[in-house]
Chain A
């Protein structure tokens, strides 16, 4: 299995430079939505902040646990194509440390973790 253009791996902030221009999935906690609803900040699982740029202004309240699917535009910013929000309760129960560990392992042993895309035999 290889990481090709169609895979959209889960990442944290530190991994963004490796995926410049590529599609990723970034899970973290949202804060600081600007007044126009165009930008907000996401704190990734490695506790670093990433600037998220919305294509369409946000029409819902965004806070707590949020998953951003989008394209990496710089080493700390993302253009969002699709947003997944979670409930208050889910945000509370989420174990960030465990998720961070998972990200570390999947990238350290990337050949062992299938993250979508075309399977090669």
Chain B
């Protein structure tokens, strides 16, 4: 029996030979999301084998009736060649006649067809010598029983798992308009399971970031898929994935540079890939030494690795926006740069963390904040690995065992420690003016070492509501009662609160500053109520207290903001803290400045 030699290549290259005769070497039922069964054929024209061949569903009965069996020879009367996904060409057979059934009339494979390499399309066929197909032929002739074999077709990569459709696609080629793909990718990030609850109901979700040689994409699983796949997917392992829905990426939730993102469906298939020859990029880190973190901007992200020197207990905080309790845990990590930094874990990460034995922790995409100088957080977009199998981790462990354990580390300082948790930002008063502090949208905080040169004693105190947290000025009703508008109550008493207007000066300039209760009390060395009483009883003593405060030096934490009153812009400076000068610290700071000036 003669087949139409070379017809396959002709068809794939665009020609339309009339009624070609082929041999169906094997056939397989394909899994499909839709209810229709589809059969995929391995077709031979005695010169080539081609596996991207399908029967239209109208011909399905030929398969189910066993009219077509292994090695049947058929004359194809109607066919189509469709080009999908760029290079791939699929041959669809829509009508054919069975010339000879397999087994009985036909002994085995006709001729010695070789697998058609997609690269050969539009090129003269030479065929890739493939010993596999000979072995396959031997296998098939010896094992065919007249039914359908379930052997997989040979693609360019050798895979023989039963449910694999065609070859592996690249992540970069995925689009929402083409659903029949399979990718092979490494998980570079797996989030925790998140629960949500809103007016429409509640649910759970988790997501992973997938990476292959072409790019990255984010995959999210909801509800039942969480149960199915959360434990299966592990960071740094490779999986075959197919049948997810694609849509345009929501950039708010992902830091990946990909136009699309995927969601799992009930039909999604995820299988571990155990090939060793898979050449996928590993999770890459770009570690920053802890001492270099001060170069990272507030709000940026960085990859860090360090040894956990201190692991505090799990604590809770109230979320600012959610108003719910969130668990957290603060760690202190160190590295060879000699600096320690705080690393905060949240939620399950915090609860499950085991700090025993000084583990090495690596975080990809840790969030950098300037709280306390510099600190790090494992945010939703970060990935934390504990004792990872990385070269840097092993080097760290060795260093820690030998020296690091006993070393004392520098901490990031918000030096001057004003308690506002921000960097000090030393300025002199001339700089405040020339650098236009306070002119922006937000107030500018800065620190200045200055001398009080004047304290205004008029209007330095006011009568305030006696209620604990209320400091609103009360109105004297004249009848011995004082009314607070905020509390909507009247009181027979009040408390004195200070609101001091002082003029501060340094060697460059001076500045009027308003000081409230706490800083005013420390600057005058007297409580507000005492001062209030003194003002009424002993004028002389009162003046002395005021005068004694003058010409003293402090380190002031100040807040500058330009405010508009009736079309006029005025710089208002408020003192949020005043502390005595630490002369040693001042001396070292000056030395630092001098050395920076090159003296």
Contact = CB atoms under 8 A, between A and B. Distances in A.
Nearest to A99: B587
Given A105-B599, A108-B599, A109-B599, A98 B588 contact: yes
B594 interface: yes
Contacts of B587: 95, 98, 101-102
Contacts of A105: 591, 594, 599
A102 B584 CA distance: 11
Interface in B553-591: 584, 587-588, 591
A64 B587 CA distance: 22
Nearest to A112: B599
A101 B592 CA distance: 11
A109 B599 CA distance: 9
A22 B588 CA distance: 30
A111 to B, nearest CB: 13
A108 B595 CA distance: 13
A102 B588 CA distance: 10
Interface string A90-103: 00000100100110
Nearest to B586: A98
A7 B84 CA distance: 95
A49 B311 CA distance: 49
A105 B594 CA distance: 9
A10 to B, nearest CB: 14
B591 A101 contact: yes
Contacts of A108: 599
Nearest to A95: B584
A101 B591 CA distance: 8
A98 B599 contact: no
B594 A98 contact: no
A98 B587 CA distance: 7
A38 B585 CA distance: 38
Nearest to A102: B587
Contacts of B591: 98, 101, 105
Contacts of A98: 584, 587-588, 591
A75 to B, nearest CB: 27
A25 to B, nearest CB: 18
Contacts of A101: 587, 591
A108 B591 CA distance: 13
A108 B584 CA distance: 21
A101 B599 CA distance: 12
A45 to B, nearest CB: 13
A109 B584 CA distance: 21
A50 B591 CA distance: 27
B243 to A, nearest CB: 70
Nearest to B588: A98
Nearest to A98: B587
Q: Which of A98, A102, A105 has the most CB of B within 10 A?
A: A98
Contacts of B599: 105, 108-109
A46 to B, nearest CB: 16
A101 B594 CA distance: 11
Q: Which of A101, A102, A108, A109 has the most CB of B within 10 A?
A: A101
B596 to A, nearest CB: 14
Nearest to B591: A101
Interface in A76-121: 95, 98, 101-102, 105, 108-109
Interface in A32-68: none
A108 B587 CA distance: 17
Contacts of B594: 105
Contacts of A102: 587
A90 to B, nearest CB: 13
A66 B375 CA distance: 44
A101 B586 CA distance: 13
A73 B594 CA distance: 34
Nearest to A108: B599
A108 B599 CA distance: 9
A95 B591 CA distance: 14
B402 to A, nearest CB: 30
B581 to A, nearest CB: 14
A95 B587 CA distance: 10
Contacts of B588: 98
Nearest to B587: A98
B501 to A, nearest CB: 33
A73 B584 CA distance: 33
B599 to A, nearest CB: 7
Contacts of A109: 599
B595 to A, nearest CB: 10
**8 smallest A-B Cβ distances: which pairs?**
A98-B587, A95-B584, A101-B591, A98-B584, A105-B594, A98-B588, A109-B599, A102-B587
Interface of B: 584, 587-588, 591, 594, 599
14 contacts: A95-B584, A95-B587, A98-B584, A98-B587, A98-B588, A98-B591, A101-B587, A101-B591, A102-B587, A105-B591, A105-B594, A105-B599, A108-B599, A109-B599
Given A95-B584, A105-B599, A108-B599, 11 more contacts: A95-B587, A98-B584, A98-B587, A98-B588, A98-B591, A101-B587, A101-B591, A102-B587, A105-B591, A105-B594, A109-B599
